[in-house]
């Protein structure tokens, strides 16, 4: 077995041990494999609760770090159980090999908006006074400002980054 294969097997084994022990370590754990790694994550401040439901809907800002493919600024949503949600240990998820669940919550992250980005997204943050404005930093010397409400859910296939504002003047990458 190659050293790389051994290392991957070791990582997978450690992950399985961690996942088996999560009920003892945390009140709740949701896992979801993203298509690409993300160097930045931030919770958006808006939270939605549907009357009579046992969950709230939250949104996240993510940025991709791809291997020479198109990078994206991503707005994703997920559902989290409310304090009065009932845990159902009798549910078994064959696909994940896990027990448990909360009512109607799927525990998955759904991508709402993907915006073409120039280079990987090293950092992305929303503006506290106006959370629809997002600033991103990539490996080049520019900072991009996006109004995510002005971008379609599916990115333009031309792969051109179209921020509302490009700030220039930084001398180092993000």
41 and 123 fall within a common domain: yes
* 11: phi then psi, degrees, rounded to nearest 5: -60, -45
Confirm whether pTM is higher than 0.85.
Answer: no
Confirm if 136 and 151 have CB atoms less than 8 A apart: no
- Residue 133 falls inside a structural domain: yes
> How many angstroms separate the first and last alpha carbons of the chain?
38
21 and 42 fall within a common domain: no
- Number of domains the chain contains: 2
Neighbours of 16 (CB within 10 A): 11
19 and 89 fall within a common domain: no
* 3: phi then psi, degrees, rounded to nearest 5: -65, -35
Domain CATH number, residue 75: 2.130.10.10
Domain span at residue 42? 31-167
14 and 44 fall within a common domain: no
pLDDT digits (tens, 9 = 90+) for 52-64: 888 889 999 999 9
pLDDT digits (tens, 9 = 90+) for 145-165: 999 999 999 999 999 999 999
Beta bridge partners of 143: 137, 167
- Residue 173 falls inside a structural domain: no
* 18: phi then psi, degrees, rounded to nearest 5: -60, -45
6 and 79 fall within a common domain: no
């Amino acid at each position: 077995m190659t050293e790389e294969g051994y290392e991957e097997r070791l990582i997978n084994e450690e992950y399985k041990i961690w996942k088996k022990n999560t009920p003892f370590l945390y009140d709740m754990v949701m896992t979801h494999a993203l298509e690409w790694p993300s160097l930045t994550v931030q919770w958006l401040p808006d939270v939605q609760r549907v009357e009579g439901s046992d969950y709230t809907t939250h949104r996240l800002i993510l940025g991709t770090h791809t291997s020479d493919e198109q990078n994206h600024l991503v707005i994703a949503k997920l559902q989290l159980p409310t304090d009065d949600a009932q845990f159902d240990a009798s549910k078994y998820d064959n696909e994940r090999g896990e027990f448990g669940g909360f009512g109607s919550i799927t525990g998955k992250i759904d991508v709402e908006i993907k915006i073409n980005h120039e280079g990987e997204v090293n950092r992305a943050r929303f503006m506290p006074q106006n959370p629809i404005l997002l600033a991103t930093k990539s490996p080049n010397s520019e900072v991009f400002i996006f109004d995510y409400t002005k971008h379609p859910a599916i990115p333009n296939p031309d792969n051109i980054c179209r921020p509302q504002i490009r700030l220039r003047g930084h001398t180092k990458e993000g």
